[in-house]
A and B are shown apart, each in its own frame.
Chain A
Amino acid sequence: MSTAPLSNLSKRIIACLDVRDGSVVKGVNFEGLKRAGDPAELATRYNVEGIDEVVILDVAATIEQRRALADTIRAVSSKLFIPLAVGGGIRSEADADAVIEAGADKVSLNSAPLAEPQLLTRLAGRYGSQAVVVAIDAKRENGRYAVFSRSGTTPAGRDAVEWAKEAEARGAGEILLTSIDRDGTRAGFDCEMTAAVSSAVAIPVIASGGAGTFDHFLDVFTAGAADAALAASIFHYSEHAVSDLKKFLRDAGVAVRLVS
């Protein structure tokens, strides 16, 4: 009998930088933003601590603010030699081209593919599925997981599990699943929802929304069957170093990448 593991793949810890006008901000339940630092500075600190990936989420409200995004991506990607995903307001191939040209490795799409799912197939054909992340914002409603678009404001009339399967079939390479109920609450990830989506697709699922303690990450990697977990404010204010979190997970038996 062989006891070799099926895979030595590590669970990923991903830092999300909500960026507006060149600065990192973080909302609670998608509202009430406050400044939390320079994106390139934060990304560099996380990199040293051993973050596995960075997501820049552009929460700009105006065209003027959006112009700053490419500069932010250039600044971050010139210092960061780990995967960088960019999302927020990407609605077309031209939008995707602009952020990928600036240095993003992946684009994360939320509202646009709900309206036009074929966009996923075109982007996967152009850049490969590994560059296409579908972000799904969902909340519990009548025993199902209702998908919302436009920063959680508009019901999409879709179920998260069903939409994740369609996104996979259309060429998405990863699912970034955010619990609207838990986002900003620090009450823990929605493990049930994460497990439901993760078991329905073969592509990796990144859990998001609700990280408050190290135990929450352990829960979402075990009960939630997540392949990666994303958080923002838990890292931004130095409450918990990324390296401490990873040591905690390793000691709990979760495969992680430790940087010496």
Chain B
Amino acid sequence: MIALIDYGAGNLTSVRKGFAAAGAELTTPRTPADLATATAIVVPGVGHFQATTPLGGEWRDSILHALEGGAALFGICLGLQWLFDSSTEADDVPGLGLMSGRCERLPSTVKVPHVGWNALAMTRASRLLNRIPDGAQVYFTHSFAAPVTADCVASATHGRPFAAAVERDRVCGVQFHPEKSGEIGLQIIRNFLTLIAG
């Protein structure tokens, strides 16, 4: 079972359709305990970091427990930011903390929010971006972003370079929307499905 966590941060129709087009059905767990049978967990989300508050507590514990059991994790947009320690958007809301660093607002030297298609600059080989060419464009819509660290597998630049995609072991995340990034995006979803199976 691939679990799509619905914690109320935005509409999930497009994420479902994107995974369906890549050949996978997503199941929305009703309670954190339902994650016990998950082979992978998708954490979507748009908007303010504060919106991740419901992911604290029991959900957080169940997600970490599933990861210990070998489940894979895919954070999308706000879901990527949540993988990090924190965000200056909501200082009092902790992230999952699997990846070190703090998310910060993009600089005001450029238009923020960052909306549209921007290029991926590969920083190292990864399973998530396998066969995706350097410079491939994907669709972003966000104002805050995670730092480029050792977990970053592709960066993008809007005012400053930021983490566009991250991967460590079976934990992945993308700041862009793979379900809205055309054929490139669907390939990235298929890559994640391959990672789950591997």
Q: What residues of chain A lie closer than 8 Å to B182, measured between beta carbons?
A: 47, 81-82, 259
Assess the B180–A105 pair: CB atoms within 8 A.
yes
Contact A202 B17 (CB under 8 A): no
Q: Which of B46, B118, B186 contacts A8 (CB 8 A)?
A: B118
For the complex, give the distance between the alpha carbons of A101 and B119 in Å. 30
Whether B10 pairs with A257 at a CB distance below 8 angstroms is no
Q: How far is the CB of A214 from chain B (nearest CB, A)?
A: 19
Name the A residues within 8 Å of B111 (CB-CB): 202-204, 227
B127 CB–A CB distance under 8 Å: no
Residues of B within 8 A of A (CB): 9-11, 13-14, 17-18, 21, 46-47, 108-119, 137, 139-142, 156-159, 179-183, 185-186
Most chain A C-beta atoms within 10 Å of own C-beta, residue among B46, B110, B117, B157: B117
Determine, out of A34-42, A124-132, A187-195, the stretch whose residues face the partner at the interface: A124-132
Contacts A81-B21, A204-B111 given; indicate if A131 touches B46 (C-beta within 8 A).
yes
A5 on the B face (CB < 8 A): yes
Across the interface, do B13 and A101 meet the contact criterion of CB distance under 8 Å? Answer: yes
User: Which parts of A38-76 form the interface with B (CB within 8 Å)?
Assistant: 47, 52
Contact present for B157 and A4 (CB under 8 Å): yes
What are 30 residue pairs bridging A and B, where the CB atoms are less than 8 Å apart in the complex?
A6-B157, A7-B110, A7-B157, A8-B118, A9-B117, A10-B117, A10-B118, A10-B119, A11-B116, A12-B117, A52-B116, A52-B117, A81-B179, A81-B181, A81-B183, A81-B185, A82-B139, A82-B180, A83-B180, A101-B11, A103-B13, A103-B14, A105-B14, A127-B10, A128-B10, A129-B47, A202-B111, A227-B116, A257-B117, A257-B137
Given contacts A129-B47, A131-B10, A227-B115, contact A8 B156 (CB under 8 A): yes
Write the nearest CB–CB distance from A8 to chain B, whole angstroms.
5
The answer to whether A149 has its CB under 8 Å from any CB of chain B is no
Given known pairs A9-B114, A129-B47, the reply for A82 and B181 (CB within 8 Å) is yes
Is A78 interfacial (CB 8 A cutoff)? yes
Complex contact A6–B116 (CB within 8 A): no
* A32 to B109 alpha-carbon distance, docked (Å): 44
CA distance A6 to B114 in the complex (A): 12
Contacts of B185 in A (CB 8 A): 81
Contacts of A82 in B (CB 8 A): 139, 180-182
Query: Cβ of A137 < 8 Å from any Cβ of B?
Result: no
Q: Which of B10, B140, B141, B185 has the most CB of A within 10 A?
A: B141
Return B31 CB to nearest CB of chain A, in Å.
Answer: 24
Closest to B20 in A: A78
Contact A6-B109, Cβ < 8 Å, known A81-B185, A81-B186, A101-B13: yes
Across the interface, which residues of A come within 8 angstroms of B109, CB to CB?
Answer: 6
Q: Least Cβ distance of B167 to chain A in Å? A: 21
- Provide the residues of chain B in CB contact with A105, threshold 8 Å: 11, 14, 180
Other than the known A8-B156, A128-B46, what 13 A-B pairs have Cβ atoms closer than 8 Å? A5-B157, A8-B158, A9-B117, A11-B116, A52-B116, A81-B183, A81-B185, A127-B11, A128-B9, A130-B46, A173-B115, A204-B111, A227-B111
Asked if residues B137 and A6 are in contact (CB atoms below 8 Å), the reply is: no
C-alpha spacing A128/B117, complex, angstroms = 19
* Contacting pair B46 A202 (CB below 8 A): no
How does the 8 Å CB contact mask read for A1-27 relative to B, with 1 for contact and 0 for none? 000111111111000000000000000
Known pairs A12-B117, A101-B13, A127-B10; A7 contacts B159 (CB<8 A):
yes
